[in-house]
Structure 1
């Protein structure tokens, strides 16, 4: 599975099964491996955010998260990717594939990570620590994660998550660290996933933007992504 390059960013042409196999190998190692689930919004931000772009370039696994990424790979590279591998789907698959996996949950408003931990335990994970995402001093949080030495660090801190992982990668003590967006909110019951039909059609992003006014500011990035791909194709 040779790594692709899409809009100057790496992309691994993996489906869920291949992503799980790659992560299984990471879990046997003694250093932290970063997993990025690449969606159109992240791709657009990385064009102007050097720290984010470096984080993606140096990630050990970059999965296609978002129907727009599948479309862009087909249009620009002539590659038909198998499927989307999203943060929430990959998280749930990891819990199922590796019962007892030691997990640290980082992100969300105060109390969200703790409620997410209850669901993660119900799904078979061993939660070794959790912390909300509303902090200014990163040092104490990194120290706490390092002391717990989780197999899997799930970071749900929106636009901060990939750069946070990359900046502290050498000191996290986790085998795998992955930015998961709103996954902790889903686990905690704070947010509902779009219906299955929307996920299968790849339009869940459209429902989220349409139903949540807080997400409207993100819509221009989606249109910019589409414009960029169309312009590059000519």
Structure 2
């Protein structure tokens, strides 16, 4: 299907298999392609954050991440998308689909990327570089990524990740760059995904908010997302 528009943002109505095929094509091209896994929080932040909005608008692939996005597409476009394509699931699927893929890991607290690197290599990837996400000067980090020239750049820097990729896109020398949120923490064993039943029911976000007080401040964005969708529908 052609790209959809959701709250003024692009969305590619792909399932996991389609996303993997698209990224497989990106890996054959000698330029950086940005992949955004769009969730309700990003959609709400992009209404006021121009750097984030530009990053999403100019991304080569924008996947549906979150049951809220599936609900909004059904509500606004009358389409039932097959599944979510989340950062963690896409990362694991890419490592399975493309054994030997050269990966650079950026993000997390000091030590997290190292732990994630061990898991990436266990899953068949080749880690060509890593760096924690707690840095002030961006130029040295960008230079290190550029020198490594990875096939796949995984950036787990929370609200900074999409704008960081977009800002430095011409200089990264990575074939594909994806903002993956807390994926590095999961790979490193620093965080656990909610139970499979919660994932299948699309309740991951609810359990995360309920179990982590630090996430409570993000909950209002989910309600604002629903409000914006219903407002647009009217």
Q: TM-score range by the shorter chain?
A: over 0.9
Deviation at 1:230, TM superposition (A): 1.4
Whether 2:70 is the aligned partner of 1:75: answer: no
Deviation at 1:77, TM superposition (A): 1.1
Partner of 2:21: 21
| Long gaps (5+) in structure 1 | none
Whether 2:7 is the aligned partner of 1:4: answer: no
CA deviation vs aligned residue, 1:160-197 (integer Å, no higher than 9, x gap): 00000000000000000000000000000000000000
Aligned length: 234
Partner of 1:98: 98
Partner of 1:87: 87
TM-score normalized by structure 2? 0.99
Whether 2:220 is the aligned partner of 1:208: answer: no
Partner of 1:223: 223
Distance 2:125 2:225 in 1: 36
Distance 2:130 2:204 in 1: 28
Whether 2:151 is the aligned partner of 1:151: answer: yes
Partner of 2:195: 195
Q: How does 1:45-64 map to 2 (within 5 A)?
A: 45-64=45-64
Distance 2:97 2:86 in 1: 16
| Long gaps (5+) in structure 2 | none
TM-score normalized by structure 1? 0.99
Partner of 1:162: 162
Distance 2:200 2:24 in 1: 26
Deviation at 1:78, TM superposition (A): 1.0
Deviation at 1:22, TM superposition (A): 0.1
CA deviation vs aligned residue, 1:210-230 (integer Å, no higher than 9, x gap): 000010000000010011111
SS at match of 2:37: strand
SS at match of 2:14: coil
Distance 1:117 1:123 in 2: 10
Whether 2:41 is the aligned partner of 1:41: answer: yes
Distance 1:82 1:128 in 2: 34
SS at match of 1:153: strand
Q: After TM superposition, what 4+ stretches of structure 1 lie above 6 angstroms from structure 2? A: none
